[in-house]
């Protein structure tokens, strides 16, 4: 287990860069050993990678969360002297945090990489430390090509925190790049896709609705305002909007679920059967196709909230409905990535394009104007589960892909 160290200086003193791995499986073993569940700090992993990059002669930039307990890492292998200096390069992006293992029935220690047969098991094996391991393994060769003047396009590595709890880290990286005048030409997010090319994904917005009613004895319901009843009216309206979304004529058949979705996820309210409830809360999420926006559903829901508020407050002025957004991750669009898609298709030998319902940091990159695709080792089917694994052939395929990608950055 890796000791959680908050003192950056003492952390640096404990690292020995010469001991860093030289191949992807060893790197993956090392990365899995860092317990980077989102509720914990990721600094031990970040400083370990920083030491490795600095050993290679690279300058590392860190951006921290407000509490300074977590950090993003951004490092650039600069292009050689003969490169076009206008070229701002290609980003390899990955998140360092993983989901919890609480309550899961693992057959091996989650934070100790274990090989059984042709699979490597461990939390983060596919989501998504496998890609990070392959990228770190490639770095020394990229540095050699840079030093010899052969690297014609800068190569960037971006490692973020808190992707699993709302993609909170990547916006800090993007803001820092904007402030420094760095606009990468392309980005590849290494989420698990079995090395297939994903060109777009849906966005996610999560909302909490809190309905404040007025308590009364159930035998005197006219003196109260039933929070559950009014919440149910709004839930019914959300369901009606969901049906309308599924029937639109601008849906996208490349998605498994080809339309934007609305879904109520939780609901809580009431204290006893004989009390008119004064509070009810529910949550719902909206997963929008890339060409749609949050306003497409937020505007009509806000109008419905205003209608219900008027009805409630006519009976009791202190009642009403609050609508709060808890999470927002933009969709990843394929509108400006045709050139990148052609490059990836040539490198992988697979021209098929995929679109997915889950969200990644890719949407934040495309939102910043950076053409992006998703391509990484492992299957999303294994992510977040007990006995998470990546097939070792997937790591080999990712190594091969990144080698071809690096070769493309040296071609004249």
Give the residue numbers marked as catalytic.
97, 163
Gyration radius from the chain CA atoms: 24
Q: Is 334 helix (H, G, I), strand (E, B) or coil?
A: coil
**Which of 207, 367, 162, 225 has its CA nearest to residue 297?**
207
Which tokens hold the place of 355? 């679109």
Cβ neighbours for 406, distance < 8 A, ≥ 6 positions apart? 138, 141, 142, 145, 155
Edge-first strand order for the sheet with 261-269 is 261-269, 279-288, 203-212, 320-329
CB 213 within 8 A of CB 278: yes
Q: Give residue 396's Cα distance to chain centre.
A: 24
Cβ neighbours for 306, distance < 8 A, ≥ 6 positions apart? none
CB 152 within 8 A of CB 80: yes
Distances (CA, A) of 143 to 20, 160, 357, 410: 16, 22, 36, 12
Angle between helical axes of 392-408 and 129-147 (0-180°, round to 10): 30
Distances (CA, A) of 333 to 203, 302, 353, 373, 383: 10, 26, 13, 9, 23
In angstroms, the CA 68 to CA 7 distance is 10
In angstroms, the CA 157 to CA 46 distance is 12
**Cross-strand bridge partners of residue 287:** 204, 261
What letters, b where the CB count within 10 A reaches 16 and e where it falls short, cover 116-154? eeebbbbbbbbbbbbbbbbbbbbbeebbebbeeebbbbb
CB 122 within 8 A of CB 1: no
């Amino acid at each position: 287990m890796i000791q959680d160290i908050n003192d950056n200086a003492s952390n640096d003193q404990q690292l020995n860069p010469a001991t860093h791995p030289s191949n992807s499986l060893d790197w993956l073993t090392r990365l899995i050993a860092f317990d980077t569940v989102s509720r914990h700090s990721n600094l031990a992993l970040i400083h370990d990678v920083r030491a490795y990059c600095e050993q290679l002669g690279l300058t590392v930039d860190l951006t921290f969360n407000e509490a300074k307990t977590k950090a993003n890492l951004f490092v650039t292998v600069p292009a050689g002297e003969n490169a076009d200096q206008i070229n701002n390069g290609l980003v390899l992006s990955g998140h360092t945090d993983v989901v919890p293992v609480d309550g899961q029935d693992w057959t091996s220690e989650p934070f100790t990489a274990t090989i059984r047969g042709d699979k490597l098991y461990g939390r983060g094996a596919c989501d998504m430390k496998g890609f990070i391991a392959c990228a770190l393994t490639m770095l020394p060769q990229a540095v050699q090509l840079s030093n010899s003047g052969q690297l014609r396009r800068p190569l960037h590595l971006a490692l973020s925190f808190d992707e699993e709890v709302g993609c909170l880290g990547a916006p800090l990286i993007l803001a820092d790049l904007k402030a420094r005048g760095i606009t990468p030409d392309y980005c590849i997010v290494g989420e698990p896709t079995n090395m297939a090319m994903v060109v777009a994904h849906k966005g996610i917005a999560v909302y909490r609705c809190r309905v404040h009613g007025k308590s009364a004895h159930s035998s005197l319901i006219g003196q109260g305002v039933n929070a559950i009843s009014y919440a149910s009216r709004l839930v019914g309206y959300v369901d009606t909007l969901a049906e309308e979304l599924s029937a639109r004529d601008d849906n996208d058949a490349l998605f498994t679920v080809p339309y934007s979705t609305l879904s109520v996820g939780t609901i809580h309210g009431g204290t006893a059967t004989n009390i008119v409830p004064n509070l009810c809360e529910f949550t719902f999420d909206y997963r929008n196709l890339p060409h749609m926006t949050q306003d497409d559903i937020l505007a009509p829901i806000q109008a419905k909230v205003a209608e219900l508020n008027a009805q409630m407050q006519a009976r009791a002025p202190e009642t009403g409905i609050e609508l709060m957004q808890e999470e927002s991750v933009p969709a990843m669009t394929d509108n400006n990535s045709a050139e990148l898609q052609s490059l990836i298709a040539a490198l992988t030998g697979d021209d098929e394009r995929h679109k997915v319902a889950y969200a990644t940091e890719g949407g934040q990159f495309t939102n910043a104007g950076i053409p992006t695709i998703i391509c990484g080792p492992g299957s999303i089917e294994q992510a977040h589960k007990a006995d998470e694994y990546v097939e070792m052939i997937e790591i080999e395929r990712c190594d091969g892909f990144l080698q071809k990608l690096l070769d493309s950055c040296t071609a004249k």
